[in-house]
Amino acid sequence: MVKFAIALLVVTLSMHPLNVRGDTLSTEEIVARSQSTDCLDWKISGICIWLRCSFFGCQVVTTPRISHYLPEFVVSSYAQTGQSPWPVVEQSLFDPTTDFVSSLSGGNITGTGISRLLHDDLKFHEVDVIGSPVTRIPGVKRFLCRRASQPFFPYFLSLRDANAWRSGTPDSGRREALTPGIREIGSWPYYTWGSIYPRSGFILQTHAGKSAAVASQRAVDVVLRDNIGHIASRIAKHTEQDVKRGNPKASNPHTCGLSGGQWQRLPRSNEGGQCVKQVWRQWLPIADEKSDRWQMLLPHYSKRCETFGRQSEWPYPEVAENDRYIWNYWGRYRCCVKAGGTLLSHFDF
């Protein structure tokens, strides 16, 4: 079912016209703006220890443990329902002209008393978290961990999660929502952009850009931490994952090694061989507002990644006049370069 949904969405995106407004981005533009090596931050972070055995005995082998970031999600934030800055995705998933969608006009804050007094500070944002369409980063020849998310897959759509996203009820009784200073985006109590909890689309913040950033961080938190009370898909239920890597069609040891496989020579042959898939151990990303990396794609295109709340000031040169934002969320990955055998232990430098 999941594969069918992804395939249907990909086909729809490829058939959709590419003409978009200046305050929106097409899929091609998003892919082009996501090819940033500045956010990759590839490094050897530790050592992995393996036990490799054969008919002649066992030996302990060490390999590097690497860490880096990968474009995990495209996160769109917008104030008015049905006005996504990545319109081809929205139009592929639901019709914004239906009565149901029109009735959920969450951006229109009306009323009397306190609601009117807070009208300028209380802001609402719809947020979509979609698997990044970027499958490879050109020019990067170093070994990379395998991304966990599926391209174009809708992991979180605030319109589908309308009740929880507009009320915040599922999170209102949790400790993080009741205790000031817990899970704040910023350096509380000196300054804060906003809190992660309750994870709803309403944020009390005078700065429109910061409120959009807080809503985006909340949506990713639902996907990567827990989705209790929310309608969302998680990319993993565990922090560790074993994945098989290797290209059986590789014709030589070099290309086999680059694909993550192990080259095995054929019996009674000096030249022939085959590429065998290997099991790799990797550690999946968990949302952390203190270290997450965000790359703005709209309204300003930045090649650098920022951590929301790292500084009190808005780190970008502009704020969207129509409250439409698109960010790349770069997830942090760590994995052991495979040596064959059983992973005994690992440690970081």
Domain residue ranges of the chain, discontinuous segments joined by +: 2-42+66-138+149-238+297-333, 240-283
Place of tokens 């949302």: 287
Q: Which residues contact 167 (CB under 8 A, 6 or more apart)?
A: 200
Count the alpha carbons within 13 Å of 307 in the hemisphere toward its beta carbon.
Answer: 15
Q: Which amino acid is at 136?
A: R
Band (115; pLDDT cuts 50, 70, 90): very low
- Quote the pLDDT of residue 117: 44
Average pLDDT over residues 29-41: 89
Q: Please tell me what DSSP assigns to residue 106.
A: T
Residue predicted with more confidence, 230 or 147? 230
Three-state secondary-structure class, residue 114: helix
* Range from 8-17, 184-193, 209-218, 262-271 carrying the lowest mean pLDDT: 8-17
Band (96; pLDDT cuts 50, 70, 90): low
Alpha carbon 59 to chain centroid, angstroms: 39
Do 203 and 166 touch, CB atoms closer than 8 A? no
- Quote the pLDDT of residue 241: 66
Do 153 and 233 touch, CB atoms closer than 8 A? yes
Do 213 and 193 touch, CB atoms closer than 8 A? yes
pLDDT > 60? residue 102? no
Phi, psi of 327 (to 5 degrees): -125, 150
pLDDT > 70? residue 207? yes
Out of 80-84, 321-325, 345-349, the most confident range is 321-325
Name 185's bridge partners: 194
Residue predicted with more confidence, 331 or 109? 331
Measured CA to CA, the distance from residue 260 to residue 277 in angstroms comes to 7
pLDDT > 50? residue 76? yes
Report how far apart the first and last C-alpha atoms of the chain are (Å, whole number). Answer: 42
Calculate the alpha carbon distances from 117 to 80, 112, 219 in Å.
21, 8, 27
- Quote the pLDDT of residue 236: 65
- Quote the pLDDT of residue 13: 44
Query: Count of CB atoms within 10 A of residue 252's CB?
Result: 11
Measured CA to CA, the distance from residue 221 to residue 271 in angstroms comes to 51
pLDDT in tens, 21-33: 458 999 999 999 9
Measured CA to CA, the distance from residue 122 to residue 32 in angstroms comes to 34
Place of tokens 């490094």: 43
Q: What angle do CA 79, 150, 340 make, to 5 degrees?
A: 145
Do 222 and 234 touch, CB atoms closer than 8 A? no
- Mean pLDDT for the chain? 81
pLDDT in tens, 176-186: 899 988 899 99
Label residues 104-116 b or e (16+ Cβ within 10 Å = b). Answer: bebbeeeeeeeee
Alpha carbon 255 to chain centroid, angstroms: 29
pLDDT > 50? residue 2? no
pLDDT > 70? residue 260? no
- Quote the pLDDT of residue 337: 80
- Quote the pLDDT of residue 285: 67
pLDDT in tens, 269-302: 566 788 877 666 677 767 889 989 999 999 999 9
* Range from 64-68, 242-246, 308-312 carrying the lowest mean pLDDT: 242-246
Average pLDDT over residues 155-183: 92
pTM: 0.80
Of the candidates 330, 335, 334, the residue with the CA atom closest to the CA atom of residue 69? 330
| Residues constituting the chain | 349
Calculate the alpha carbon distances from 259 to 177, 243, 254, 277 in Å.
45, 12, 9, 9
Q: Which amino acid is at 39?
A: C
Do 205 and 121 touch, CB atoms closer than 8 A? yes
* Range from 78-87, 129-138, 273-282 carrying the lowest mean pLDDT: 273-282
